[in-house]
């Protein structure tokens, strides 16, 4: 398992690269496409600058339009209340979109059919089975409430796939045959499921601490156990989970190789503090809770400040959560 990784763009060398940021010299990775004169990207993959120049030539050819995210209309097949203002939704997508959403950290933007684009809001993926997608949303703001205005299952607009729902993705993908602690609280439970599937498929021994959080219910316990995950149910992360985690971190036998925090930023920082309390520094992956409006790095709503005073577009940049300054 890698103990440290370099920040990079989640879309680099995918079908969505070069993206719209490269068109205006605001690429988050390529120094030339940031307007600088010197190449210092230290990237061993395909050159983004070359790809941009080649794509500009291909766009003049018929059938060679730039690749953009898929946006489709889909009926809600399931809408079930699982907690206070919290609903499990299921809807179908195209096979191409479904394939892009099977990776841990994937998310989509949703809005009610017929509503303007500014109603879009990001939602992490809980599961994908064939072309059926499962998500969980908390209906508390105007965007999410609008999606559930009718009692019936109204059509929705789904846009995706997006991939940067987890900071520390390389740890999730590359940790194998190791001990992992997965902490899932409240609405961190849905994105914890694809993380757990990836970790288990890589032969890891996963122990999950699951707390109901604001949802008031731990609704993924049986699914985690079905994957072979050891589940420890706790009524409160702050009162019960953190003392238990400090004991685990301090134990030579129980201490994990990787910590994964699926929940709010306060939970992430609490886990970092628990590690610091026993003087250990473990790799930690954490769900991305940044405010997002466009998902393409254009609007700037997702920007966060790092410890070395850099502004990072968190909808695009894959990095270590511990690099961010606590808000």
pLDDT tens sequence across 98-156 = 999 999 999 999 999 999 999 999 999 999 999 999 999 999 889 999 988 776 678 99
**Average pLDDT score over residue span 68-95:** 92
Q: Is the pLDDT of residue 246 over 70?
A: yes
The predicted pLDDT at position 316 comes to: 94
Rounded to an integer, what distance in angstroms lies between the CA atom of residue 155 and that of residue 243? 45
The CATH number that domain 70-162 falls under is 2.40.30.10
Q: Which residues contact 134 (CB under 8 A, 6 or more apart)?
A: 88, 89, 90, 125, 126, 127, 128, 190
Helical H runs in the chain?
A: 20-23, 48-58, 95-100, 142-147, 169-174, 189-201, 221-226, 242-250, 265-277
Q: How confident is the model at residue 59 (pLDDT cuts 50, 70, 90)?
A: low
317, pLDDT greater than 70: yes
Res. 39: pLDDT tops 90? no
Q: State which fold the 166-323 domain adopts.
A: Rossmann fold (3.40.50)
> Of 96-100, 187-191, 235-239, 285-289, which gets the smallest average pLDDT?
235-239
Please, where in the chain does CATH 3.40.50.80 lie?
166-323
Contact criterion met (CB below 8 Å) for 98 and 133: yes
> Can you name the residues that pair with 123 across neighbouring β-strands?
108
Model pLDDT, residue 152: 62
Q: Give CA–CA dist 262/182, Å, rounded.
A: 7
Closest CA to 181 of 275, 319, 289: 275
| Residue located via tokens 């879009």 | 120
- pLDDT for the residue numbered 236: 92
The C-alpha atoms of residue 180 and residue 205 are separated, in whole angstroms, by 6
Neighbours of 66 (CB within 10 A): 13
* Average pLDDT score over the chain: 90
pLDDT at 3: 57
How far is 109 from 117, CA to CA, in rounded Å?
Answer: 10
Task: Read off the pLDDT of each residue in 299-316 and give the average, rounded to a whole number.
Answer: 92
CA 197, 291, 312 angle in degrees (round to 5)?
A: 90
State how beta strands 179-185 and 205-211 pair.
Answer: parallel
Q: What is the mean pLDDT of residues 92-96?
A: 96
pTM tops 0.85: yes
Domain(s) labelled CATH 2.40.30.10 in the chain stretch across: 70-162
Residue 178 pLDDT exceeds 90: yes
Least confident of 31-35, 40-44, 85-89, 267-271: 40-44
Mean predicted confidence (pLDDT) in 225-242: 94
CB burial of residue 299 (10 Å; 0-12, 13-18, 19+): middle
Q: For the chain, give the percent of residues with pLDDT over 90.
A: 67
């Amino acid at each position: 398992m890698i103990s440290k990784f370099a920040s990079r763009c989640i879309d680099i060398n995918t079908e969505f690269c070069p993206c719209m940021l490269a068109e205006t010299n605001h690429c988050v990775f390529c120094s030339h496409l940031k307007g600088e004169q010197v190449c210092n990207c230290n990237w061993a993959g395909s050159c983004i600058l070359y790809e941009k120049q080649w794509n500009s030539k291909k766009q003049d050819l018929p059938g060679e339009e730039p690749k953009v995210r898929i946006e489709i209309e889909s009926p809600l097949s399931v809408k079930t209340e699982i907690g206070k203002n919290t609903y499990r939704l299921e809807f179908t997508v195209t096979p191409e979109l479904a394939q892009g959403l099977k990776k841990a950290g994937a998310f989509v933007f949703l809005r009610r059919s017929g509503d303007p684009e500014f109603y879009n809001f990001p939602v992490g993926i809980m599961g994908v089975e064939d072309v059926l997608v499962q998500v969980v949303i908390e209906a508390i703001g105007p965007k999410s409430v609008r999606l559930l205005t009718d009692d019936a299952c109204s059509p929705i607009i789904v846009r995706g796939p997006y991939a940067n729902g987890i900071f520390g993705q390389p740890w999730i993908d590359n940790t194998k045959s190791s001990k992992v602690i997965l902490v899932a609280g409240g609405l961190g439970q849905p994105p914890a499921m694809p993380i757990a599937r990836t970790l288990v498929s890589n032969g890891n021994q996963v122990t999950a601490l699951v707390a109901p959080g604001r949802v008031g219910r731990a609704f993924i316990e049986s699914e985690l156990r079905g994957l072979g995950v050891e589940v420890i149910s706790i009524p409160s992360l702050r009162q019960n989970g953190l003392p238990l985690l400090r004991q685990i971190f301090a134990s030579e036998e129980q201490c994990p190789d990787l910590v994964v925090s699926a929940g709010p930023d306060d939970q992430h920082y609490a886990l970092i503090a628990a590690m610091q309390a026993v003087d250990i520094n473990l790799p930690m992956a954490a769900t991305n809770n940044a405010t997002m409006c466009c998902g393409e790095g254009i609007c700037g709503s997702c920007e966060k400040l790092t410890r070395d005073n850099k502004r990072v577009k968190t909808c695009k940049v894959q990095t270590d959560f511990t690099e961010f300054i606590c808000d």
